[in-house]
């Protein structure tokens, strides 16, 4: 398949709720960057975290293999809960990025998602 996407992406939102009513990985509050690499080459990806009041963190390096998807949780990059942040995702091959939050602070779940902002 022909590759699809861009090499630079940004997600201006970023907030991991500090509480969870769920205890499983599926139901704990979390934020995810969904990374699709539809190309025939592995994607070497760097994620930089931007904060409100201190210098950026990272870049966190990861690989999305050719023709694979990776749903990367921000907590697994060490991003703390209950703090505003943003992120920039850079890749050496075109990828597609979508941002999702699951908020389980209450027994009922809340979800948000958006395609990220892409750039050449």
Whole-number minimum distance, CB 74 to its own copies, in Å?
13
**Measuring CA to CA, which residue among 21, 34, 25 is closest to residue 109?**
21
Selected binder of its own copies within 4, 40, 76, 78 (CB under 8 A): 4
Question: Is residue 86 near its own copies by the rule CB under 8 A?
Answer: yes
Q: In Å, how far are 20, 77, 93 from 3, measured between CA atoms?
A: 37, 26, 8
Q: Site map for its own copies, 33-72, x if CB under 8 A?
A: -xxx-x---------x-xxxx-xx----------xxxxx-
Contact 6, 119 (CB under 8 A): yes
């Amino acid at each position: 398949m022909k590759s699809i996407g861009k090499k630079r992406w940004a997600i201006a939102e970023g907030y991991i709720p500090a509480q969870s009513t769920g205890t499983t990985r599926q139901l704990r509050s979390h934020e995810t960057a969904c990374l699709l690499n539809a190309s025939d080459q592995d994607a070497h990806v760097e994620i930089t975290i931007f904060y409100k009041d201190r210098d950026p963190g990272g870049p966190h390096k990861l690989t999305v293999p050719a023709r694979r998807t990776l749903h990367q949780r921000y907590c697994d990059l060490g991003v703390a809960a209950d703090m505003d942040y943003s992120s920039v995702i850079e890749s050496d091959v075109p990828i597609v990025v979508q941002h999702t939050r699951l908020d389980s602070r209450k027994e009922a779940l809340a979800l948000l998602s958006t395609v990220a902002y892409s750039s050449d």
